[in-house]
Structure 1
Amino acid sequence: MSSASQSRPWDVHRLPSAEGRNFLVTGGNAGIGYFVAEQLAATGAVVVLGSRDAAKADAAMASIRSRVPGARVRQLRLDLADLPSLKAAVDGLDLDRLDAVVHNAGVALDDPPRRETGDGHELMFGTNHLGHFALTQWLAPVLSAAPAGRIVTVGSFAARSERLDLDDLQSTRDYRPKRTYGRSKLAQMCFGFELDRRLRAVGSTVLSVVAHPGGALDSLTPSRPPVRVTTPGQRLRALPAGLLVQGKEAGAWPVVRAVLDAEVQGGQLWGPRVFGLRGTPRREPVPPHMADPAVAAHLWAAGVELAGTETHLGFR
């Protein structure tokens, strides 16, 4: 990339070329993940949509191709709630190298009862955090094979007000869906920062970056039928909220910058410019509770035990 392109202000509507690069977006068939995939596809990269549902992934790819002429998109069957399936899924990538993975897929439950994955883990913690924790191990060889691989973990603004209960990571004693979701996203973000520290310690060329979409509402999101349809009435009713938050197309901007910007460094946090809720992407200070080394060490050890991974996750 030329020095001129590096010094030019970041423009969410004029992304740099990523021709020849390969990206994987987990949960790329809907929500923030869909718009991340659509925007990355416009750079000329190969974009793989990780999805549990082949039909939804097909619909997402058709939508992307209708908006991005020549888009190079394909899908990968990926179920983060099924930890034993992840190695075979990654084998199905059939890529010599992966330039970036976006850890985006997630489950958000609004009501009880507490649910578990087939492996016996609380569903949100097991999918959002443990699934990506385990996936990282299997992706390590192809990420390390890229000249400058990146792992971009998509967190949540909700994680700012949460704290992890290290004695009850899976909410077995006190399950409240919204709090459990926020804590699962906090666990993801803590993992992203700790992962970068460990990558630096072993001299890896791979970077770990954390990004969040701010406040991203479906009702402010542009339609992408059949992936997502927003009616004029929904958009009209949501206009007042647009003073504070935004749609999911804009919510994808910090994630896309974390993937593409040559000046982004490992261990950074990226989010929307206006109060962390809306606007163009900017770097944010990392809240202390997301970077506490003692909490990170405990969470990492729990991840190794619960997900059955190696301590170093395969990075050298």
Structure 2
Amino acid sequence: MPSVPKAPTWDVQRLPRAEGRNFLVTGGNAGIGYFVAEQLAGTGATVVLGSRDETKAKAAIASISSRVPGAQVRHLPLDLADLASLRTSVDALELDRLDAVVHNAGVALDQPPRRETKAGQELMFATNHLGHFALTHWLTPLLMATPASRIVTTGSFAAKSERLDLDDLQSTHDYQPKRAYARSKLAQMYFALELDRRLGAAGSTTLSVVVHPGGALDSLTPSRPPVQVRTAGERLRGLPLGLLVQGKEAAAWPTVRAVLDPDVRGGQLWGPRVFGLRGRPRSEPLWNQLADTTTAAHLWTASCALTGVVPTFT
């Protein structure tokens, strides 16, 4: 009996070509988002950096262009904390197709006091979840017009031990910054899975995929001046932690695979291979709380009310 050929191993250093495709990366000017954008630019695709800071976006574009000959990268002004501005931002994309959007941008606050957007919503929940929820609504016509497009949402390992409080989504009571951040990321993950269920029910070829980067440290991240600068001292101090976690370049791998790999399926969760903290990307079982479709549906309804948009997929 002839042997069955093995499926090719995904090589993070030899990505498939993607000329003619367009990718939007929110928060692509810094952190993990920068490395997602750099790696995607290396495939020949057009990469749009969604960022509210034009200066930082230009620095990121210059850095990517210096490392990727012929890189096609541009900036889109995007402020996820300002829901009223998102439709204008999407109109400014001026694309005839969008093959993937990476919901990567995020705010993480370490200290009180609780902060709000100008619309009166808790800043982390509003930016990390509600902004991406509303952005998806405005991007839907473009995504659905692009066969096999993808919506890749970045969760966090910090969310694995959390539960959503549907009665206090905005952390009005007993505000704890790290918990509020973790819950905002958990909300993103619930949203992405509910989104995939709704896309499937509508018969859409657009997929929604969840990723998380594991543990990512600046001290283990390669320098990309002026976007990311790592001193020799920081590198030496971070080396022992490299047994457990990784830098932000490697932390981008699950996202990049979720965008490019034709074998990725909607509703999957992708993260690092080694204990979910470091290593090459793999599909992993959904965390227990993410299987709770009732909570996901309630969150969707609440998000519609809080954003004033109702995503539909017909």
TM-score by length of 2: 0.98
Q: Secondary structure at the match of 2:101?
A: strand
- The Cα shift of 1:223 comes to 0.5
Superposition map of 1:194-209 within 5 A: 194-209=194-209
- The Cα shift of 1:220 comes to 0.6
For 2:3, the equivalent position in structure 1 comes to none
Equivalent position amino acid for 2:156 in 1 = S
Q: Secondary structure at the match of 1:28?
A: coil
Q: What is the root-mean-square deviation of aligned Cα atoms in Å?
A: 1.0
For 2:169, the equivalent position in structure 1 comes to 169
Distance in 1, Cα, partners of 2:279 & 2:308: 39
- The Cα shift of 1:58 comes to 0.2
For 2:269, the equivalent position in structure 1 comes to 269
Distance in 2, Cα, partners of 1:291 & 1:111: 31
For 1:238, the equivalent position in structure 2 comes to 238
For 2:313, the equivalent position in structure 1 comes to 315
Distance in 1, Cα, partners of 2:51 & 2:28: 7
Q: Secondary structure at the match of 2:160?
A: helix
- The Cα shift of 1:282 comes to 0.3
Q: What is the number of equivalent residue pairs in this alignment?
A: 310
Superposition map of 1:222-233 within 5 A: 222-233=222-233
1:156-189 deviations in Å (ceiling 9; x for gaps) = 0001011101110000011000000000000000
Equivalent position amino acid for 1:32 in 2 = I
Equivalent position amino acid for 1:58 in 2 = K
TM-score by length of 1: 0.97
For 2:28, the equivalent position in structure 1 comes to 28
* Structure 2 residue 129 is the aligned partner of structure 1 residue 147: no
For 1:215, the equivalent position in structure 2 comes to 215
Superposition map of 1:74-93 within 5 A: 74-93=74-93
1:242-288 deviations in Å (ceiling 9; x for gaps) = 10000000000000000000000000000000000000000010012
- The Cα shift of 1:97 comes to 1.0
For 2:72, the equivalent position in structure 1 comes to 72
* Structure 2 residue 126 is the aligned partner of structure 1 residue 131: no
Distance in 1, Cα, partners of 2:230 & 2:117: 31
Q: Secondary structure at the match of 2:131?
A: helix
Deviates more, 1:286-295 or 1:262-271: 286-295
- The Cα shift of 1:191 comes to 0.4
Deviates more, 1:282-291 or 1:187-196: 282-291
Q: Secondary structure at the match of 1:161?
A: coil
Q: For the Cα contact (< 8 Å) 1:194–1:291, is it kept in 2?
A: no
For 1:289, the equivalent position in structure 2 comes to 289
* Structure 2 residue 278 is the aligned partner of structure 1 residue 303: no
- The Cα shift of 1:70 comes to 0.3
For 1:57, the equivalent position in structure 2 comes to 57
Q: Secondary structure at the match of 1:76?
A: strand
Distance in 2, Cα, partners of 1:291 & 1:149: 24
Distance in 1, Cα, partners of 2:48 & 2:8: 28
Distance in 1, Cα, partners of 2:46 & 2:174: 43
1:77-117 deviations in Å (ceiling 9; x for gaps) = 00000000000000000001100000000000000000001
Q: Secondary structure at the match of 1:95?
A: coil
Distance in 1, Cα, partners of 2:221 & 2:293: 37
Equivalent position amino acid for 1:222 in 2 = P
- The Cα shift of 1:118 comes to 1.2
Q: Secondary structure at the match of 2:47?
A: strand
Q: Secondary structure at the match of 1:229?
A: coil
Q: For the Cα contact (< 8 Å) 1:138–1:314, is it kept in 2?
A: no
* Structure 2 residue 184 is the aligned partner of structure 1 residue 184: yes
Percent identity over the alignment is 75
For 1:3, the equivalent position in structure 2 comes to none
Q: Secondary structure at the match of 2:12?
A: coil
Distance in 2, Cα, partners of 1:225 & 1:100: 27
- The Cα shift of 1:28 comes to 0.2
For 1:279, the equivalent position in structure 2 comes to 279
Q: For the Cα contact (< 8 Å) 1:154–1:189, is it kept in 2?
A: yes
Deviates more, 1:181-190 or 1:141-150: 141-150
